[in-house]
Amino acid sequence: MIEEKEYKARREKLIEKLDEHSISILFSAEPKSRSNDTEYPYRQNSNFYYLTGFKEDSAAIVIVKKKSKAKTYLFVAKKEPALELWTGKRLGVEGAKEIFSFDEVFEYETLQTFFRENIVEKQTLYYDFSHNCEAHNSIVSLCKNFYAYKNLAKKIAKARLIKSSAEIAIIRKALSITQEAHHRAMSVVPKLQYEYELQAEIEYIFKKNGAYSDAYTSIVASGNAANTLHYISNDKAIKKGELLLIDAGCEYDYYSSDITRTIPADGLFSQAQKELYSLVLDVEKEIISMIKPGVMRSALHTKSEELLCEGMVRLGILKGKVKKLLKEKKHKAFYPHGIGHWMGLDVHDEALYKNKKAKEIPLQEGMVLTIEPGIYLDEENETVPQKYKGIGIRIEDDILVTSQGCENLSKNIMKEIKDIESLGKKK
């Protein structure tokens, strides 16, 4: 659990990066309609949550900075008993004052009036350029005579790159739940008939352990479906002798996990499956061993391409000299994605990979990223040796950059062939 003093410290750190004469505004996420009078489960905007820990909609943060001094304001929905009967209790102004360390807390309905009273020409306005709602747009339109407009979201995303010990603890909890879910999948898959049955087993573990939700739509792809990178239909029959690519992770207390394992449908890998799986696993281990402060993510990706290309030549999937194949990007047909991405409050954290000068940001202590090499051999590709056709394999772990190297936060989720086969044989 993250304490209020950490949220306050985050706001104070952000304030240091703001222009001396500026006003900043950030809105909560809006509820999203599913159909007629039903809505999707509400999830707070990640940047808003990062600065507040506040989970209600119809809210906003305002920061007014004059020279080196700043004041912070939280705007929240007022308590309405008739509405709360249907949608649940609200904190209201008084309740929010008791929990959150803002200089002032006001009703959300007073936001426009507050802005009109605090607008000063030639200030800088900070806001989230991607946010698009009526309240947000009306506030921005009030600020026509401002000196500059700057993207607040980018500053917050940069801060989110480095995780605190409290954040890492929550990610560890999310991964402990995801570990249980993947191990359950490995043990029960020989008894199941359809992909959606396996998805249900995985997501049951998420919910049973108090995870907020899945961090993204689970991928349970059997056979050739694994060669569709974002396959989410999960409605095919599971056939004996096939592999299943399972990309599934829970979200716990707003923090994500992101894990992929590839397992045999009947508990045992065939020889051809072992050859491909061992290639991907060896590459993943090699890339993880390279991670430490100062290393560039692009260097990790380039090395993964080299290693996978060498392996595909060795197995007869690609033919020719490795350097020439890489130059001509022939490997891209079978490894089209990157080596990984930032992870935290979002499964794909918003932080950029380059700074303002377009220079790549090196890895730093406290960053969390995924490492996920893969190989995808579609059954319709005539260049692929017959024994490998229809096989898609990805292995993904969540890695914390430490002062001296890295820690694989998901190292306890089985991925060795012998361990997966051993679990698959258990009843």
> Is residue 121 domain-shared with residue 212, that is, in the same domain?
no
User: Which positions are annotated as active-site residues?
Assistant: 37, 230, 247, 258, 337, 341, 348, 372, 376, 394, 396
Q: Are residues 179 and 135 in the same domain?
A: no
38 residue type, one letter: T
Verify that 287 and 379 share a domain, yes or no.
yes
Do 135 and 188 sit in the same domain of this protein?
Answer: no
User: Mind listing the pLDDT tens digit for each residue in 249-274?
Assistant: 999 999 999 999 999 999 999 999 99
* Same domain flag for 256 and 307: yes
Are residues 178 and 146 located together in one domain of the fold? Answer: no
What does the pLDDT read at residue 255?
97
72: β partners: 63
- Domain of 68, CATH number, reads 3.40.350.10
Confidence of residue 351 (pLDDT cuts 50, 70, 90): confident
Given a cut of 90, whether residue 224 has pLDDT beyond it is: yes
pLDDT over threshold 70, residue 372? yes
The domain of 391 spans 165-425
* 238 pLDDT higher than 90: yes
Q: Tell me which of 156, 182, 213 is where a domain ends.
A: 156
Q: What is the pLDDT of residue 67?
A: 82
Is the pLDDT score of 134 beyond 80? no
Helix axes 271-290, 297-314, angle to 10 degrees: 150
Least confident range of 26-35, 269-278, 395-404:
26-35
Domain boundary among 125, 156, 187: 156
State the pTM of this model.
0.95
Predicted pLDDT of residue 145: 76
Judged against a pLDDT cut of 90, whether residue 142 lies above it is answered with no
Mean pLDDT across the chain: 94
> By mean pLDDT, which of 57-71, 137-151, 207-221, 407-421 is the weakest?
137-151
Q: Both tokens of residue 35?
A: 């159909």
Cα separation, 238 vs 102, whole angstroms:
54
Q: How many other CB atoms are found less than 10 A from the CB of residue 368?
A: 24
Q: Mark whether 70 and 176 lie in a shared domain.
A: no
How confident is the model at residue 426, as a pLDDT? 59
What is residue 386's DSSP assignment?
G
Residues 257 and 400 in one domain: yes
What radius of gyration, in Å, describes the C-alpha atoms of the chain?
A: 24
Neighbours of 253 (CB within 10 A): 16
> Can you read off the two tokens belonging to residue 356?
């303002």
Separation between Cα atoms, residue 241 and residue 147, nearest integer Å:
65
What is the DSSP track for 133-185?
Answer: -HHHHHHHHT-TT-SEEEEHHHHHHHHHTSPPHHHHHHHHHHHHHHHHHHHHH
Q: State how many domains the chain has.
A: 2
What pLDDT digit, counting tens, does each position of 293-336 carry? 999 999 999 999 999 999 999 999 999 999 999 999 999 999 99
Considering the chain, what percentage of its residues have pLDDT values greater than 90? Answer: 86
Position 1 scores a pLDDT of 86
Q: pLDDT tens across 95-117, in order?
A: 999 999 999 999 999 999 998 88
pLDDT value of position 214? 92
CA 209 to chain centre: 20
Residue whose C-alpha is closest to residue 426's, from 186, 180, 187? 187
Measure the CA–CA gap between 66 and 86, rounded to whole angstroms. 42
Determine the residue type at 402: T
Coil/strand/helix, residue 256: strand
Do 124 and 187 sit in the same domain of this protein? no
96 and 169 in a single domain? The answer is: no
The three-point CA angle 172-175-180 to 5° equals 135
- Which CATH number belongs to the domain containing residue 259 in this structure? 3.90.230.10
Calculate the alpha carbon distances from 201 to 20, 178, 191, 208, 403 in Å: 53, 12, 12, 11, 38
235 & 374 share domain? yes
Residues 229, 134, single domain; the answer is no
Place of tokens 């689970």: 218
Of 44, 130, 47, 127, give the one whose Cα is nearest residue 349. Answer: 47
Query: Does residue 427 carry a pLDDT above 70?
Result: no
Last residue of a domain, one of 156, 187, 210: 156
| Sign of torsion over alpha carbons 39, 45, 46, 49 | negative
